Structures are given as structure tokens and as C-alpha cells.
Amino acid sequence: MSTIFELISQFKAIADDPKKAMDDFKKETGKGAVGIMPVYCPEEIVHAAGYLPIGMWGAQGKQISKARTLLPPFACSIMQSVMELQLEGAYDELDAVIFSVPCDTLKCMSQKWKGSAPQIVFTHPQNRKHAQTAANVFCRAEYAHIKEELEDILGVKITKKALQNSIAIYNENRAACREFSDLVAANPGLIKLRDRHAVIKARWFMPKEKHTAMLKELNEAIKAADKAPFNGKKVVVSGITLEPYDVLDIFEENGFAIVWDDLAQEGRNFRQDVEYDEDPLMALAKAWNAFDGCSLATDADKPKGGMLIDALKKYDADAVIVCMMKFCDPEEFDYPILLLQFEEAGVKHIQVEIDQESTSFEQLRTRIQTFAEVL
């Protein structure tokens, strides 16, 4: 059995070099890759086509220049970075790019795609909670549209059986990720925060069955490991992403361990499975409409605060850290609601700003150190 260190190094190599991961996949299978723009794309459809779905989450610490001519300054740093990479031709080797449009920035980005790969744009239904039957039908139709466009672009037929198989593979990966997250939470001194992040992020750049196989091995190695010393504080984190790595290092320096994440790049993708339905596209549609707790997924009942408080109790965490993506208006609109829910429940909490482009972290360091001192 490989050691924890060896396995994490492999995950990190993939998470830090998606281009190489894509090239390796192409060499191995003779098939290409389809870009998956954030957030909540039914990747299973791409997987069922035999292509590699590859996440497009921008780049850490990348200086933005050309993108400034195309995007307003208040577009989030992920989109700034994705636009810069588009203009540099970083995505030109993709066979297609799929855009969901759950926020204004993504909606506008999808209408000014500058890469050479063909794009597929789809919409999630807004009426998903109060008119669920109609929302399921609408969402299924949008997913069918993705499937048909992919079939045309890639020249492959995506069969019902292949889609059902892909859903099963993704569910298995989700279960392995949930187990990994729980194992890390149960032995918080063992895995560094940046390593936890890399292990989960790697799933965006590799076939899920491979990620699952590696992750199961890592999970076994973690189970076999001794309890690591830990006298810091356990936290639940919420937001779109928790990058750059420097942010995680500051958390680590101040003794924080993440025991549960509610991040659009991480845990929100694997905290629930896709339930079986005879019609696999309907199964995917129902799963999205049942999904809760993301500011980008319309839900007038606003269950996120309650979900975070429940997670805090379940994992015996000390506090919630809200990692606010700078200029993410859906998340910013939701924050005052969270604030009231936290105050009412007596939950210790802090909000920190996340900016992928940032290379200076002194104010963040002060906030996090103070929060550690307060706890």
C-alpha cells in the first residue's frame, strides 16, 4: 500500500497541473476533454461520452491584464482568470466547453466566450423548489440539450446505459469523497489543509473512477494511521472556493482544521448522490432540484445557515468561516441572512474575503489570527 505522503503527492501533481492530466488522458484513451465551467454541470453526461470532463477554475495568483478589456472590475476573480486563460489560448485544446449560468457574471461570460472550442450553454430552473415537477421537466430538457449538442460536437452516441453507468461511477466517487472528508475530520492533525484541498480538487481533472481508486487507497491509509496530535480549533467552511493555497496555510498556521466544507468547488459536489431514476437525465435533473444550500441555487427558504449550524454540531466544530468570493453577489446577498442565523444560534463565525488573484495576505492573517485568539 502506498503511503499517505505518496498518494497525496500524486493528487497534488494532478491538481496543480490540469494540462498534464488532460494530455495523459488523451494519450491513454485517444479521446479528448470537455471544459466544465463552474458550477453544477451534470458532468456525468460528458463522462458517458468517454471524454474527460475537466474543471475550469482559473489559476491561483495569476496577474490579470487582457481580461480587463472584456470584463468589468467587479466580475469575480475566477471569471477574470478564466477569461485571461481563454485569451491566452489555454482552453483551445478542449473539444467543447459547457457553461451553466446561475449568476449574472456566468450569464454574461457565456455570451462572450473567446476560446476556439465550441461552447454549450444551459440553464438551471429557478422555480426548482416551488414548482418541482415543472422544474424537473425543464432541467431534464436542458440536460437533453447538453447531451444532443455533445453528441453532435464529439461525434459519439451517449447511450442510456452509459449514462446510468456514469451516474453510478460518480456516486461511488461522491461516497469516497465523503468518507475522505469524515476521516480527515476525525484525525484533524494528520492531513494538511492544502493537501485536503488538493485531494478533492484533483477530482476535477481526472476520470472519477481513477480518482475513486486512488482515494479509496488513501482512505485506507488514513484509517491505518495513528492519531496525530491536534490542539487547534475545528471549523466548518463555506463559500465558492478556498484558494489560493496561501489562505489555507494561514488557517493552518493558526491551528484551524476543516472538518466539513460547504464549498462550490469541493463538498457541495459530493454531499448528496444522484438517486436512481429509470430515465438517467431525469435522475440528474431531480438531483439538482433537490440540492440545497448554495447561494447560486435558488431557494427562498434559505436553508444554508441551518445546514452549516447542523454540520457544526455534527462535527463538534468550534466555528464557521465564511469564505466570501470577492464580487460574488449571490453569496454576498446571502451573507446577512447567515449572519442573523449564526448570531441567533450563538455560533462563532467570521467572514474572510477570497480573491484568486491575491498575492498579499497580511489583512487576512490579522483576521484569522484574531479569530483564533478569540476562540
Partner 1 sequence: MYTLGIDIGSSSSKAVIMKDGKEVVSSAVIQVGTGTSGPDRVMGEVFKNIDLTPEDIRFTVATGYGRFSVEKADKQISEISCHAKGIYFLHPEARTIIDIGGQDAKAIRLDAKGNIGQFVMNDKCAAGTGRFVDVMSRVLEIPLSEMGNVHFKATEWAFVSSTCTVFAESEVISLLSQGVSRENIVAGVHQSVASKACSLVYRVGVNDDIVMCGGVAQNPGAVDAIRKQLNKPVIVAQNPQVTGALGAALFAYENVKWLPED
Residues that bind partner 1 (CB under 8 A): 326, 339, 351, 353, 355, 358, 360, 362-363, 366-367, 369-370, 373-374
Q: How far is the CB of 374 from partner 1 (least distance, A)?
A: 5
For partner 1, the closer CB: 203 or 367: 367
For partner 1, the closer CB: 30 or 336: 336
For partner 1, the closer CB: 145 or 326: 326
Going 134 to 140 to 142 to 144, the CA torsion angle's sign is negative
For partner 1, the closer CB: 34 or 328: 328
Q: How far is the CB of 238 from partner 1 (least distance, A)?
A: 17
d(CA 121, CA 240): 21
For partner 1, the closer CB: 36 or 321: 321
For partner 1, the closer CB: 56 or 236: 236
d(CA 308, CA 173): 23
Q: How far is the CB of 328 from partner 1 (least distance, A)?
A: 14
Q: How far is the CB of 327 from partner 1 (least distance, A)?
A: 11
C-alpha 286 chain-centroid distance = 19
Q: How far is the CB of 336 from partner 1 (least distance, A)?
A: 9
For partner 1, the closer CB: 69 or 360: 360
For partner 1, the closer CB: 301 or 373: 373
Query: Taking a C-beta distance cutoff of 8 angstroms, is the pair 148, 125 a contact?
Result: no
d(CA 262, CA 308): 8
Q: How far is the CB of 47 from partner 1 (least distance, A)?
A: 39
For partner 1, the closer CB: 294 or 324: 324
Q: How far is the CB of 319 from partner 1 (least distance, A)?
A: 12
For partner 1, the closer CB: 9 or 366: 366
Of the candidates 219, 227, 222, which has an alpha carbon nearest to the alpha carbon of residue 189? Answer: 227
Q: How far is the CB of 360 from partner 1 (least distance, A)?
A: 8
Q: How far is the CB of 375 from partner 1 (least distance, A)?
A: 10
Helical axes 193-201 vs 160-186, angle rounded to 10°: 170
Q: How far is the CB of 369 from partner 1 (least distance, A)?
A: 4
